[in-house]
Structure 1
Amino acid sequence: MTGTAATPRLTVVGIGADGWPGLAESGRQALRTAEAVVGAPRQLELLPGEVAAERIAWPSPLRPAVRGLFAGLAGRRVAVLASGDPMFYGIGRTLAEELGAERLHVLPHPSSVSLACARLGWPVEETAVVSLVGRDRAALAGALYDGRRLLVLSADADTPALVAALLREHGFGASGLRVLERLGAAAERELTGTADHWPHPPGDPLNLVAVDCRADGPTVRPHLVPGLPDQLFESDGQLTKRHVRAATLAALAPAPGELLWDIGGGSGSIGIEWLRAHPSCRAVSVERDPVRAERITRNARALGVPRLTVVTGGAPAALAGLPRPDVVFVGGGLTAPGLLDACWSALGEGGRLVANAVTLESEALLTEWYRRRGGELVRLAVAHAVPVGGFTGWRQAMPVTQWSVVKRGEAL
């Protein structure tokens, strides 16, 4: 690898718990010839005396220090130690984003996921992975389905007990747990139990939790397609109901990496289901009522998307300073002066806007915007079968007028 005057030559070497004996010769040679080796103290201790390079432990916090650290090593042969596969939830991503992928030479080691699946006999491609390293444990809730197999990347020795507690909270106490410590090392160890009866104290901080998901019994369960059961959301009545929500998510059309503004969040159902569509989707829920804003946060955590950003404030004023959205949904406050104008201005070319209305005043506003901007205007009507004496009849919900449009130029 070659570098510039500002950036050192950088080889990223994946290393396992087995240390030096587990490295391929290419990794050993990179470390022998390095003038400086950067890594976690635990990893640096795995290196033998024949690695004569200066050993530098990562600073904390790590990411803000990366550019300065490697600028200070300019002109030297530098190696970085990474756990397992550096590009799988590893330091490799951070280095690529901060220094540029073209400056890296990555020598991967088998990841902890590959090693765990080899021990368990689980197909890697059919095993879901959730990382709790530097992440909210509530994210695990979104991966829980009866019969599913999960691997949880642990943050520390306390993670297995936290995983067991979360499984119990969400009705998965019957799930089997296997904690795999120090995978690949001579001191490798496995602990077993269930979420309901996890008897083990904290062990080695280098561990991974395998979960064989088993629901405790029949429950109202989340699923993968839009339109989660209304009962899954804590609500004061301000909730886009299931069937309309499914149609709304179809109009919003989430795609990986896109950012949604959910304005008039209510119970947060639209933003939450948007985030559940793909792990890289992003969403900001704007809600003027602080009680409802707190409820949105609770719903997001309960349904496995704690990454939902909640902004408490009235739109359009609360929209100032937010990152540019790819998609905007307006579910409440449509008639607030200047709201639709602010949303339209915030969108870039090709951005999408979807708005739902239930009042005549809001419907008139959407009709006028439809006349000016085009798009699609539809009315959604849902009726539910209910008892009528000894018979059954239909009870009509309030119809919803929905306008959806893609921003194409500014012609009126």
Structure 2
Amino acid sequence: MAEAPWLTIIGLGEDGPDGLCSASRKALADAEIVMGPARHLGLLPDPGAELVEWPVPFADGLKALEGFRGRRVVALVSGDPFWFGAGSVIAARLGAGEWRALPGRSTFSLAAARLGWPLETTLCLGLHAAPMTRLRPDLAPGLRAIVLLRDGAAVGDLAAYLRAEGFGESRLTVLEALGGPRERVSMATAADLSGTFSHPVCVALDVAGSGTVLPRVSGISDRFFETDGQITKRPVRALALSALAPMPGERLWDIGGGSGSIGIEWCLAHRSLRAIAIESRPERAARIRANADRFGLDRLRVVEGQAPGALAGLDLPHAVFVGGGLSEALMVDLAARLPSGTRLVAHAVTLESEALLAGWSARLGGELLRIELAEAAPLGARRGWSPSRPVVQWRVVL
């Protein structure tokens, strides 16, 4: 018979033990040690166990928790431990047989119950440890979202962010200490929000306003990116993303990242996608980071250095885009380094780089596409076509 786990993770609400199931109450009664934030420990009557306050930073608590291995321990967390909660972090640290979890009612469920919103069509985000910009790709009139925030002051930060992005008309329902005696619900628009709020707090958003909405297909307007001119322009970027064909869970190498537009749009295609931008110029690497921050994309990593040398030690990709720094040495390295099945897309704008792609296409196959675009521009008193430099795209599956 398997040995019982030494650790029980219990989701505790603002109503304290009154809202716990019988299994959670028994685990508390049997515990030698109860560990959790001061707020949670304060909700308990005398449990007859040693009470240990979870320290700050959070990682220090994980070390302390492991030190109690072999004793009967309860870790108190908020609501559902595995929905933007601490449960997943604790579970990842311990072995599969060392812990069990007894979830409580999540803040999302409580908020939806107050508002009458269907959770299956409501965006749920944890912004207690993430930037407000994490909302940016989803902001659109009519969106409903419930977001967890780190503290009461963050409610004002959220309203300010919405105003700055042109969504000041959004209706905010601020829900404090849901399910407990301190519960308070208040409503205002982002433009009119005032007052102070207490932790724990979440905000339900009913988004409205005239802010710019990001498209859900490739080809975001160039104006969303800071750039020094080194950027894959919108129409060409859309063709590049189509060729790269991002699929859930994949990783991209964006070699010669420039402004980061390819890696950013790759990550925006799905929440599970990741990217590594390799950029040799420090000022451009900083610009890529700033552009990624604008979209709340901590899934885009920037590596400063010149490829192919900077590729050493990186997690292997599912797809690679070469938008700058194309050379024979780079192509030789990629052909040797990348596993079979990797999708490779490269762009060339000079005669020399075109010849390089033509030669590699003859060796490895794939598809060559010449992209010639022209925009209408003034021509005297009328208008004519102003052509851009042609781009040659090579796409191959290794």
Normalised by the length of structure 1, the TM-score is: 0.89
Amino acid at match of 1:29: K
SS at match of 1:371: helix
Mapped partners of 2:108, 2:321: distance in 1: 38
Q: Of 248, 254, 264, which residue of structure 2 is paired with 1:262?
A: 254
Q: Does 1:231 align with 2:226?
A: no
Mapped partners of 1:341, 1:204: distance in 2: 58
Mapped partners of 2:395, 2:60: distance in 1: 41
Amino acid at match of 2:246: P
Residue 209 of structure 1 aligns with which residue? 203
Amino acid at match of 1:348: P
Residue 80 of structure 1 aligns with which residue? 75
Matched-pair contact (CA < 8 Å) for 2:273–2:299: no
The superposition leaves residues 15-69 of structure 1 with CA deviations (integer Å, 9 ceiling, x where unpaired) of 11111111111211121112222222211222222x2222222234333653x44
Question: How many percent identity over aligned positions?
Answer: 48
Residue 191 of structure 2 aligns with which residue? 196
Mapped partners of 2:87, 2:241: distance in 1: 35
Give unpaired runs (5+ residues) of structure 1: 408-412
Stretch moving more, 94-103 or 259-268: 94-103
Q: Of 325, 336, 340, which residue of structure 2 is paired with 1:333?
A: 325
Residue 289 of structure 1 aligns with which residue? 281
SS at match of 1:338: helix
Shift of 1:342: 3.1
Mapped partners of 2:34, 2:337: distance in 1: 46
Distance 1:93 1:235, change over 3 A: same
Stretch moving more, 8-17 or 100-109: 100-109
The superposition leaves residues 157-206 of structure 1 with CA deviations (integer Å, 9 ceiling, x where unpaired) of 211011011112211112111210001011101222222222113x2120
SS at match of 1:93: helix
Mapped partners of 1:18, 1:31: distance in 2: 15
Mapped partners of 2:3, 2:344: distance in 1: 45
Q: Of 351, 355, 365, which residue of structure 2 is paired with 1:364?
A: 355
Superposed structure 1 runs of 4+ greater than 6 Å apart: none
* Within-5 A mapping of 1:40-79: 40-49=37-46, 51-63=47-59, 66=62, 68-79=63-74
Amino acid at match of 2:236: V
Residue 174 of structure 2 aligns with which residue? 179
Distance 1:150 1:14, change over 3 A: same
SS at match of 1:318: helix
Shift of 1:388: 4.7
Matched length: 398
SS at match of 1:328: strand
Residue 364 of structure 2 aligns with which residue? 373
SS at match of 2:68: coil
Mapped partners of 2:337, 2:274: distance in 1: 16
Shift of 1:304: 3.5
Shift of 1:323: 2.9
Distance 1:293 1:72, change over 3 A: closer
Stretch moving more, 56-65 or 243-252: 56-65
Give unpaired runs (5+ residues) of structure 2: none
Normalised by the length of structure 2, the TM-score is: 0.92
Residue 315 of structure 1 aligns with which residue? 307
Mapped partners of 2:107, 2:116: distance in 1: 14
Mapped partners of 1:279, 1:100: distance in 2: 27
Residue 237 of structure 2 aligns with which residue? 245
